Structure 1
């Protein structure tokens, strides 16, 4: 995601029942779209739409894996530890807490310094 999602977009995303179901499932156990469709008894198009929405709002991430038969597929996983939604002075605030790993943090710091 290039820009931060707006509060409204995040609230709309987690307000969607199927998106919440998909997010809850992959927070317990990562999976492919096909696995999620079977696990959650939802159609693959429904799963793909929700995965796109969740990924667009940076709530999930994917990793491309290679199956035993040589085909590639994406495995999706949750991209945060917790979320806090607060209301203060008639304004909502959404904070998403992520656990970054050390190589990602170093890479981000390196990028911020503009070192090429």
Structure 2
């Protein structure tokens, strides 16, 4: 039997097979974290973490938020949008359902403001 899976779904499943990507999702599930914190959690260089962040964001599994530090500088933190993945076996192959976390209203407003203000 040949299993046909949507290319985007296949890319998400391949990404979830990556140890760094899984660690980033787990670390950001309950609390937004900076690249530095994620780098420490993954025991990886920031460049490696940034590559995984880019791939996770391409598939809407990770969102970024702006934070203001006490010195008045802005920096990004990241929060998981992935809630769950369900895989069912069917007569035709696999049925994959990906559940995403809802964006909070304040985060939606902030994101839209940032997009509009450039």
Category of TM-score, reference length = shorter chain:
0.7 to 0.9
Residues 59 and 68 from structure 1, CA distance in 2 versus in 1: closer, same or farther, beyond 3 angstroms? same
Q: 1:52 & 1:5 partners in 2: Cα distance?
A: 18
What residue is the counterpart of 1:56 in the other structure? 58
* Structure 1 residue 63: Cα displacement: 0.7
What residue is the counterpart of 2:36 in the other structure? 34
Between the two proteins, the alignment pairs up a number of residues equal to 102
Q: 5+ unaligned residues in a row in structure 2: which ranges? A: 1-5, 110-118
What residue is the counterpart of 2:88 in the other structure? 86
Q: 1:44 & 1:33 partners in 2: Cα distance?
A: 6
Q: 1:38 & 1:28 partners in 2: Cα distance?
A: 17
Give every structure 1 segment of 4 or more consecutive aligned residues whose post-TM-superposition deviation is greater than 6 Å. none
Per-residue CA deviations over 1:6-26 (Å, capped at 9, x if unaligned) read 111111110112111111111
TM-score by length of 1: 0.73
Query: Which secondary structure state, in structure 2, belongs to the residue aligned with residue 85 of structure 1?
Result: strand
What residue is the counterpart of 2:20 in the other structure? 18
Residues 84 and 62 from structure 1, CA distance in 2 versus in 1: closer, same or farther, beyond 3 angstroms? same
Q: 5+ unaligned residues in a row in structure 1: which ranges? A: 108-116
What residue is the counterpart of 2:74 in the other structure? 72
Per-residue CA deviations over 1:62-114 (Å, capped at 9, x if unaligned) read 1111212222211111113221122322432221223425749xx9xxxxxxx
Q: 1:66 & 1:9 partners in 2: Cα distance?
A: 34
TM-score by length of 2: 0.72
Q: 1:85 & 1:30 partners in 2: Cα distance?
A: 27
